[in-house]
Chains A and B, each alone.
Chain A
């Protein structure tokens, strides 16, 4: 513990005991600190994913694929075996992994540019083949890594560095609801859209990830968990403001909830 922690965090010896522990950082996250900006939803989803992997006891059975985009370094943080894929190709790389290791649980972690722009073909066809993958899709409506360009999911009228007068749908296309699109495919088993802007939504996202991984454990088909997220730095907002943007602008267009759930037989 650092000096600051010692001074500011005096340990209450009667409470801070292992038997009273209700939350700690999952041990499947590596020691490395996230490079993400303060308040970024990527961090939250990384954390949730590793919580679920820890709780399910599937660390040794899970192989992940990192994208190109802000979460390109996901493999530095997620303490499972990982591969870093070329931009947009995560679903193809994951298909390669899963086909030769069908007994493993394989997930991809992708942003909106990676999954819904450059990687649309790979995503759609992996889904259509019903590949047994959990695809975690972070939709923050903007390109983060390249600093603030328009994403396929940017909202109509949204100002970005490449839509400086606001996204004009007549010339720049409409925001893409890829989850709804994929849900129509018969190979797709489970599609849900969640968010991490409030404690309640964080809980629901964790449940969705859990569900996705449980389905993967049984090889039931292609699962997609979309997480509507923020990008405070590129929206030029504080983290709290960016979460309000998620609540007031993003979620009304990208409504939360299950989009496709398995039929109960």
Chain B
């Protein structure tokens, strides 16, 4: 439970400096954001970086703002900030739901959105939430270039994400939802603050008559990464959301999403939770869209 010795520790103050250090130390370096995933791994000696590049002194990496029709969330935005930010509560409620569900207050005060996405735990709360919102990551490289990658592509598998040794996630971008949109997120866990057995994120856009124009539903807590329930979402499209339709969507999601057994739950039970949770979350998202 004590990490292996590290040789270098850097606390750069701007992004350029981070990138230079990444370029120099590359594969033996690890970026340290909130430390809520990296430190446990180091203490278990499952990660043994020689160099730590601490991001916590980097200025302006944590701001949250709307710009050009997109929400920008700085890589270092803490879970607690996302959970309480007025803009997010107003227009991206499902993201706040997800952030509020993570761990406990200490973890939410330290952990960051980029750290969570890079860590890519299939049972974590942000990945399905950001997927349901069609979020993308902005990634910077030492050569000054940046690339943008859709979160669906960024999440590669259990604890695997599409990030190079010399790359830094600088922010997450989410397209602003059109009018009459709403989202919700819920998870089932064995104890409060634990990783999800199953979680569901849904984002719905309705027209004034209550007909669903656009739906995206993502299920977390499944392997190898959160899964879009496409069939369920397309069932909703063009229809007025009622109890029967919700049940059908739950059935469809339970049918299409592959589940597995592990210490927390069996595949069958996960399927049942999907069946029950999808309707609940879609109903809440739809109610928020109406507001």
A, B in one complex: no
Which A residues form the contact surface with B (CB < 8 A)? none
